[in-house]
Structure 1
Amino acid sequence: MHESNKLSLEQEFSLRSFETQVQRMSREQAQQFLVKLYEQMMMRETLYKSFLKQEWGIEPSPEF
């Protein structure tokens, strides 16, 4: 793996903590959590795409 793709020490710790939390979940809780996590990932992707379009001048900035 390229050096810039490695996790920081803080991220490694966070990952281990997350792993412990997931191991304590029931199967049903884990399945619900995964669906919610996937939804949030899609929302983040949509926000990134929108931001990039605005920055590249492809899409006008929203009026507030």
Structure 2
Amino acid sequence: MESSGQLTLEQQFQLRILQQSIEKLSAEQARDFLLEAFRQMMVKDNFAKQMFKDCYL
């Protein structure tokens, strides 16, 4: 298994596809995309925190 700081080969491939898609976006679309990506990361973080919290109760 990869270390937590490394991407799997599949993730690297997905990142490359995303990079190619982003290159086609306007500046406004890129900002909206970035904001949504950060929002989703925050939701994921909250979910993980809640799972750990529930695990130790």
Q: Same fold per TM (> 0.5)? A: yes
1:56 aligns with 2:56: yes
Equivalent position of 1:47 in the other structure: 47
Paired-residue identity, %: 36
1:44 aligned partner, one-letter code: K
Moved over 2 A (4+): none
Q: How far off is 1:7 after superposition? A: 1.6
Q: When the two structures are superposed, what TM-score results if normalisation uses the length of structure 1?
A: 0.78
Aligned-residue CA RMSD (Å): 1.2
Structure number with bigger Rg:
1
1:31 aligned partner, one-letter code: R
Task: List runs of 5+ in structure 1 lacking aligned partners.
Answer: 58-64
2:42 aligned partner, one-letter code: M
